[in-house]
Amino acid sequence: MLRGVDRAVARGLARITGSAVAPYQSAVIRIGFSLTWLLFLLREWPHRDELYGPGSPWSWNMARSLIATNHAFTALMWSDSGVWFEVVYAVAIAASVMLLLGWRTRTASLLFMVGVLALQNRSVFVGDGGDNVLHIMAIYLAFTRCGQVWSLDSRRSRRTADSGAPGRDPVGIALWICSAVVLAWVTAVGDLSGLWTAALWTAMATQAAWWLVRRHAPGEPRTVLDMIGNLVHAGAMLVIVVEVCLVYATAGWYKIQGSRWEDGTALYYPLHLNDFTPWPALSHALAGNGLMVMLISYGTVIVQVAFPFTLFNRRVKNVLLALMMCEHAGIAVILGLPFFSLAMIAADAVFLPTGFLRWLGDRLVRLLRPARAAVIPRQRSADEPSRSTLVG
């Protein structure tokens, strides 16, 4: 019996360290969160100064006083210049596009995290709930290898493997040098806390070590670094899974304690608030149906409380997952909270079955490139996992 347990543990460690677990799920949440943040930044482009810039009612000095107490990280506190704000906002957009396409994913994930924290911590009272999820997930994404599939990085890796030569990487070197120069300047002027200074310099050093090993030591040192990277990635994916479960569990149990959720009328009240009625006729028609209001109110509580426990049953989990995604889509339309809903749907995507994601990816490829798909059938690489060990 002990030998069987040892074999199982050995297989599990080999699986976790040998390749990045849940590559399709990590790619989906990468695409989902970067798209959500990109769309938000583009929509708020005309209002960016009032939200996060020098023209915000939450002034630069007020933000600096708050950050002095909570020690939050934001690059917008490095200068109160309007030009610096525009640069940070533009970098946040560029990082979102980079992460969405999966181009230089390691660098893009760090820049994406910096952009999200810079803007959200500058004006902490701007948001609709989805910003909290995006805030947390931006940090977790920096620890994942989310560019293994469905990315420009994976395509470049395949081409490099086919050519048999590592080739030069002037773009990667230039990105690293520019980032190091900016970080050195910020460190010199003393606008970073000790914790963030250590964290960002560690990330820069890790990037440099990774490139040097891939370039000059492709044997055992690279294997060791790959194993460490896969292990960190697996830990980050597990934390994301736990985080989503905690979000739903706490939301459901808090709802149970509310009298309006107990009597099944909770949905009725936001449907009569002007801020949450983009389609007044639709909202009032739904609010006028007492049975529907009660079913949705009770159904929301039941699904949120039950979901973490359904992870042990794949079929039930998939049913509740579809219900929650439909619920968030309804929130986006009926209550006018599209970015909150997109963020939650992106978080839910970590539980999507691998088989479904691969099928969906193949369908999209055939729609976008029908001629090529008809001539060149998809072939699975030898090291590509057939299914995820974390999720369905």
Of the candidates 129, 147, 123, 138, which has an alpha carbon nearest to the alpha carbon of residue 72?
A: 123
DSSP H stretches of helix in 217-279 = 220-256, 259-262
Contact 387, 354 (CB under 8 A): yes
pLDDT of res. 331: 93
150: Cβ contacts below 8 Å, ≥ 6 apart: 24, 27, 31, 102, 361
- Residue 190 has a pLDDT of 67
Q: 252 is written with which tokens?
A: 């459901």
Whether 153 and 104 have beta carbons less than 8 Å apart is answered as yes
In this structure, what token pair is assigned to residue 274? Answer: 């002007």
* Cα(173)–Cα(340) distance, integer angstroms: 36
pTM of structure: 0.89
Q: What is the pLDDT of residue 116?
A: 95
Q: What is the pLDDT of residue 294?
A: 94
Which ranges of 349-386 would DSSP assign to H, the alpha helix?
354-368, 370-375
3-state secondary structure of 304: helix
**Cα–Cα dist 231/113, whole Å:** 21
Q: Phi, psi at residue 141, to the nearest 5°?
A: -60, -30
pLDDT recorded at residue 364? 86
Confidence (pLDDT) at 33: 96
pLDDT of residue 193: 73
- Dihedrals φ, ψ of 335, to 5°? -95, -5
Residue 6, pLDDT score: 64
Is 115:91 a contact under the CB 8 Å cutoff? Answer: yes
Give mean pLDDT in consecutive 10-residue pieces for the chain, a chain of 392 residues: 65 81 95 96 94 92 89 88 94 96 93 94 84 93 93 87 68 86 83 80 87 80 88 94 94 90 91 89 91 93 92 90 93 92 94 93 82 48 42 40
Task: Give the count of beta carbons closer than 10 Å to the beta carbon of residue 147.
Answer: 26
Q: What is the pLDDT of residue 129?
A: 77
Q: Render 167-201 in DSSP notation, one character per residue.
A: ---HHHHHHHHHHHHHHHHHHHHT-S-HHHHHHHH
DSSP-derived secondary structure for 126-174: ---SHHHHHHHHHHHHTTS-TTSSSSHHHHHHHHHHHHTS----HHHHH
| The pLDDT value given to residue 138 | 95
